[in-house]
Structures are given as structure tokens and as C-alpha cells.
Amino acid sequence: MAQPALDDLDLVLKTMATTIVDNAHYFADLDSVVGDGDFGFSLRNGFEVVAEEYDTFDRSSVGSVLKKIGLVISGKVGGVSGPIWGTAFLRAGVKAGDKTELSADDVIAMLRASVEGIMQRGQSALGDKTLLDALIPAIDSLEESFSRPMDDHGVAAVQEAADVAVKAAEDTKGMLAMRGRAAYTGERSRDSVDAGATAIGVILQAISAAWRDKYST
């Protein structure tokens, strides 16, 4: 019988992969303002493989599927995003290990492990104007929601986290880029939103919509 946690994970990961493929041009355009415009296409190189081959991955545990995705991303995604996103999946996979079901605490611990991996790999921190500036507030929001009683399978919690990410991504406009190619542009980087942070908002909105479709009554 299919394990509930693995079914949910399939939904989240497949939604994430197709959203990245569908938004490759948009994400690349965002990166072209102060970067080199490769971000959306780099990510697509990895996530189109994830989308196409997902059903062949070893899905015997949460860790096995996440680690496999980490390897695919590390191998296929160029630039700085390959190591960053690859590490994020690997760290979440290592944290989940051979679990086949996840508690709310497990989910938060996996997301925090991803963030730690990104920070180490990217030598980056909150406030550097990167995807972390959307991801960390979204995880904070999710953790806060999970600490309250929920009777809707987390539908409202996931939507709130997605909204927090979108707002946080918009707020990267005005910030000075400290990492990646955008940092080379100095003060000019303040005039636009960060591509990675915006991508996190778009991906979380898509996951939230899929989650609502599955669970809202």
C-alpha cells in the first residue's frame, strides 16, 4: 500500500519540478537584470530530468528520493545553483534518512537542514539578497503554524508560508546583493528583486495550490 508521506512527497516534488520547468524563462529574465540570465535555464536542466524520471527513482524512503534528486541536481545544474540546490536536497535527504512518514517536526528539521547546507555551500546568510531571504521566512511561518492545532492537513499553513515567501521576495528589492553575480553590480542590484527568492515564492505558491487541491474539503 502506498505510504501517505511518500505520496505527499511525490506531490510536492513533482509540483516543484514542473513549476521550475514551466517558469524557466521567467526566472532567467529575472536573473538577467543583474546576473547573467542563466538561472532559470540552469535549474530547468536539472528539474526537467527530475520531472521526467521521477517515477523511476528509488522511493522506498523519504531520504532515498531526496538524495537521488540532490545527485541529479548537482550533476545537471550549472553555475552556483547546482551545488546550492543539490546540497539542499542532499541535506534534507540525510536528515529524513529511511523514514517513510513525516511529522511536522520532521518537515521543519529537513527544511532547516537544507538551509544550513545552502548557507555553508554558498557562504551566505539571511540578508545577503539570495533565495534564503524568501526561504527562511517561509520556514519560520510554517514552523509557527505547525505549533498551533491544525484541522485542515496544513492547507492554511502552507498557503501562509507561500504568501510570506512572495512578500519576502518582493522585499528583496532595495536590498544590496552580497552573493552571486548580482553582487558584482553593487548599488545597482537594489533596483530589482532577487531571482532565487522570487523563484521560491513561485514554487511555494504552486505547491500550496496542489496541496489545497488534494486536501481541501
Ligand X SMILES: Nc1ncnc2c1ncn2[C@@H]1O[C@H](COP(=O)(O)OP(=O)(O)OP(=O)(O)O)[C@@H](O)[C@H]1O
Q: Which of 20, 23, 35, 111 binds Mg ion (CB under 5 A)?
A: 35
Q: Which does 196 bind (CB under 5 to 8 A by kind): ligand X, Mg ion, none?
A: ligand X
Spell out, one character per residue from 36 to 65, where the chain touches ligand X: x when CB under 6 A holds, - when not: x-xx--x-----------------------
DSSP 54: G
Q: Can you say whether the dihedral through the CA atoms of 127, 130, 133, 135 is positive or negative?
A: negative
Q: Is 130 in the site for ligand X (CB under 6 A)?
A: yes
Decide if 105 contacts 49 (C-beta within 8 A). no
Q: Is 88 in the site for ligand X (CB under 6 A)?
A: no
Give the count of beta carbons closer than 10 Å to the beta carbon of residue 25. 11
* Least spacing, CB of residue 79 vs ligand X, in Å: 2
- State how far the alpha carbon of 196 is from the alpha carbons of 7, 52, 191, 199, in Å: 27, 23, 15, 5
Q: Is 38 in the site for Mg ion (CB under 5 A)?
A: yes
Q: Is 142 in the site for ligand X (CB under 6 A)?
A: no
Q: What part of residues 174-203 is at the interface with ligand X (CB under 6 A)?
A: 179-182, 194-197
Q: Which of 31, 133, 143, 194 binds Mg ion (CB under 5 A)?
A: 31
Q: Is 117 in the site for ligand X (CB under 6 A)?
A: no
Give the count of beta carbons closer than 10 Å to the beta carbon of residue 189. 24
Three cell numbers at 161? 508560508
Q: 183, exposed or middle or buried, with CB in 10 Å at 0-12, 13-18, 19+? A: middle
* Residues in touch with ligand X (CB under 6 A): 31, 35-36, 38-39, 42, 79-81, 84, 118, 122-124, 130-132, 179-182, 194-197
* Residues in touch with Mg ion (CB under 5 A): 31, 35-36, 38-39
